[in-house]
Chain A
């Protein structure tokens, strides 16, 4: 199955929500829409679902033009960020609801609901109502409804955003398996780069109503076509700073330079923007690492990683390292760039060397 957007544009009044977009999605793996809030992910999902109509352009499903067709007739499932279930129905009835609409026989409904509930570990809760469930169980019920329907197109709009992060970890782990071999095109919108990476498949990075890149997830991450894509696909934010290439060396700042090796070696001398993901900037330097003398501004600790925002020469840098590293805010601290992870962009923002 395929879903194809052809020159789709969405304008509301004078504002353009989606600039001309063409995209072809297949059923192999997840198709992740990655972008910050307001990048246009939800609008694109609504266009795919038929909840909104494009101002111009076409939407094709399996080659058939479905532009203007109502969502009811499109064989599509949508799971929303908020846990949307019928509050007055039991979990069983909730999961069965799309089958009842499709007039499936009672025995068949029992079989399919049972199967899906097993898959999502909802079997013990089938007799309960949504209000008696935890957030994770409510969202699993919503997912079960999408799965049981056997639609050709499954749209997941930040389905894990409102869950505790441990639950999020667990469900994210299961999601790709749940939808594997179902023969459906699965679209998953998220604002978290790590989620895109862990789900695998293909990723379309979005920014300001445009798709900046679409391709296999690791490729989009490691070979971003331009700085904009790299910015969308980095959390904490990617460090970007102007550099100059001269005499086979890259000059970042007074006394901070390194030898241009790898792909950048072949590029002509001149001005570039270097993009360094935060995990290539660490408090411990290895062999050949470039030293940055910074002053720590802000620190953040996740359970197993430490992030420091530091100032160097009036520019804020972000460093990310493994383990819990208690920095002294306001104090000077040395950080090191692993230059093997540097991306170089030209004046127009396009990738020159990775």
Chain B
């Protein structure tokens, strides 16, 4: 188990990176404490898998350091780092039994057979694989195989960190939540630092105490699930997390207030430095928009029923605004006005939350 530190990490797959877009990772500084559950969340191509491979040692970063408990491991090979990794597709040794698959990492390290047996049985029990130990691993279903992949990481007592690279991709939808909660439970039992990479918000938010949201090689926010929902630090986080995502409308800032289509919108927190910003926007989640007598003029263009509520799409001065309405609520036809909850409406400058204290 270890604390993980990433110091001024940059990586490019090109031999001679110059332009900003040549970098797969632009600059990452992170400190993760021992025994935590973390998630790297972002769309495909955001650099999350690169970051994971740098931590595991499969990729050597172009610049910067990886520290385990303060020790620089940047130059070490994966097998010298005492880490475990679970891949997108289950990796199992086809010719071996489930038991031998689980024992493999221990035997490779010369652990004595008595200890191997005890560990394998303990982990198999945790993963509910005890009944299958003598079966050929190749004959298991996808979720069984993925459990073996996890088990090969958990079986080692000396692992610094276990990493999961989109581990539920090949799992049947109705089994996903079971494995998801199994993982959470395992983390609480073994207390090993775990890093979970995914593009799925439910997987990330369910698993992690701290979620790192990434976009185009940058970390845009690190926070708890509540932070990410209630106070997105970047419009991307607001858009990416939540379904439908946060509404983002162009605005102007004058006299310390925000104006959308010329109408004053009260916002939470003071508005920080916005003078040299190229774009100014207000962000508000669909949950906190409602129809009102007065406010921003809008026209309803589409209503979709999700069963639990309705998603209303309105057009306000050329911008699209989503809002959630109860199933039985009246939806105004034609002209309407929208009001935003002032406590949940924020101003974003060049995408970043414009806090009073500055970013």
Contacts and interface: CB of A to CB of B under 8 A. Distances in A.
A165 B201 contact: yes
A191 interface: yes
A313 interface: no
A277 B172 contact: no
Given A135-B44, A169-B244, A303 B228 contact: yes
A166 B184 contact: no
Given A164-B43, A164-B199, A165-B199, A300 B306 contact: no
A304 B344 CA distance: 14
B3 interface: no
Contacts of A279: 307-308
B206 A301 contact: yes
Contacts of B245: 166, 303
Interface in B176-234: 177, 180-181, 184, 188, 199-202, 205-206, 224-226, 228-230
- In the complex, which of the residues B188, B287, B308 has the most CB atoms of chain A within 10 Å of its own CB atom? B308
B229 A300 contact: no
A140 B128 CA distance: 41
A299 interface: yes
Contact of B243 (A169, A191, A299): A169
A165 B243 contact: yes
Contacts of A221: 307
Contacts of A198: 304-306, 311
A300 B308 CA distance: 17
B174 interface: yes
Contact of A301 (B43, B45, B225): B225
Given A164-B44, A221-B307, A302 B173 contact: no
Contacts of A165: 199-201, 243
A299 B44 contact: no
Contact of B173 (A37, A304, A326): A37
B62 to A, nearest CB: 25
B99 interface: no
B212 to A, nearest CB: 15
Nearest to B200: A165
B240 interface: yes
A329 B172 CA distance: 25
B11 interface: no
A134 B199 CA distance: 14
Contacts of B44: 134-135, 164
Contact of A166 (B181, B224, B240, B285): B240
Contacts of A192: 173
B307 A324 contact: no
A302 B311 CA distance: 17
Contacts of A110: none
A298 interface: yes
B229 A197 contact: no
Contact of A304 (B45, B180, B184, B287): B287
Interface residues of B, number: 38
A192 B173 CA distance: 9
A194 B287 contact: no
A301 B205 contact: yes
B242 A194 contact: no
Interface string A62-76: 000000000000000
A323 interface: yes
B201 A303 contact: yes
B25 interface: no
B66 interface: no
B175 to A, nearest CB: 9
B314 interface: no
Interface string A287-303: 00000000001111111
B243 A302 contact: yes
Given A324-B225, A324-B226, A36 B174 contact: yes
A284 to B, nearest CB: 15
A31 B177 CA distance: 28
B241 interface: yes
B305 A218 contact: yes
A164 B181 CA distance: 21
A299 B183 CA distance: 12
A322 interface: yes
A275 interface: no
A350 B174 CA distance: 24
A297 to B, nearest CB: 8
Interface in B136-185: 172-174, 177, 180-181, 184
Contacts of A323: 229, 287
Interface in A301-333: 301-304, 309, 320, 322-324, 326, 329
A304 B240 CA distance: 11
Nearest to B226: A324
B243 A303 contact: yes
Contacts of B230: 324
A301 B287 CA distance: 16
B32 to A, nearest CB: 20
A236 B308 CA distance: 12
A126 B180 CA distance: 40
A164 B244 CA distance: 14
A130 interface: no
A193 B199 CA distance: 21
A301 B206 CA distance: 5
Contacts of B228: 303, 324
A277 B174 CA distance: 17
Given A37-B173, A166-B245, A197-B305, A326 B184 contact: no
The 4 closest A-B pairs by CB, nearest first: A303-B242, A301-B205, A303-B241, A304-B242
7 contacts: A197-B304, A302-B201, A302-B243, A303-B202, A303-B241, A323-B229, A324-B229
Given A166-B239, A304-B243, 12 more contacts: A37-B172, A134-B45, A169-B243, A192-B173, A218-B305, A302-B202, A303-B201, A303-B240, A323-B229, A324-B229, A326-B224, A326-B226
